[in-house]
Amino acid sequence: MRILIVGATGTIGRAVAGELGGRHDILTAGRSSGDLRVDITHREEIRAMYEKAGPLDAVVAATGKVRFEPLAAMTAEAYEFGLQDKLMGQVNLVLIGRAFLVAGGSFTLTSGILDHEPVRLGSSASMVNGAVNAFVRAAALEMPNGQRINAVCPGVVQEALATHGAFFRGFEPVPAARVALAYARSVEGGQNGQVYRVQ
């Protein structure tokens, strides 16, 4: 398969590329590195990326940013950051990508454990992760041409503890290699509308 991994240089993206790379042709995309460049907050950049990539069997989105701030300090603009990046960025990867994905191809999006295990400072992440999961379940009912869509909902990734660990005190970390297996299950399997929880 020809698989596009958006966010392939991040902790999860690298693990997914490592898991799938031995069996498939991998194209990588990112804001500042990879085979293709894309800022997922800009629809025109997403379309240009797909046009350069050509036909694809699968798209994996291992990307998306949100703000971690106290609720008292959060503004509409702070919430908008996560909505435009992690939520609508991934949604637009699907909306625009449908035309470039082969019949029977798949999208795999990324949410996260805060959809159902909230933490202080994480209201934006909880909101966005929950919305990603809900979008996947609903969109699966209407995907064209036999295309599939799933999401991976990981816990805090062990290799990212240095940067994110302070937000996840008491959570058991998950190795990135184990998280990557859920993406392989989505890409190489046949399920549709699933949220794979890796915790």
Q: What is the pLDDT of residue 147?
A: 98
Q: What is the pLDDT of residue 191?
A: 98
Instruction: Write the pLDDT tens digit of every residue in 88-104.
Output: 999 999 999 999 999 99
- Structural domain including 181 reads 2-198
Distance CA 179, CA 100 (A): 26
Q: What is the pLDDT of residue 189?
A: 98
Low-confidence ranges of the chain (pLDDT < 70): none
CATH classification at residue 23 = 3.40.50.720
Distance CA 191, CA 189 (A): 6
Q: For the whole prediction, is pTM greater than 0.95?
A: yes
Pinpoint the alpha helices (H) of the chain.
Answer: 11-21, 43-53, 76-82, 88-97, 123-139, 161-164, 176-188
Q: What is the pLDDT of residue 112?
A: 98
Total domain count for the chain? 1
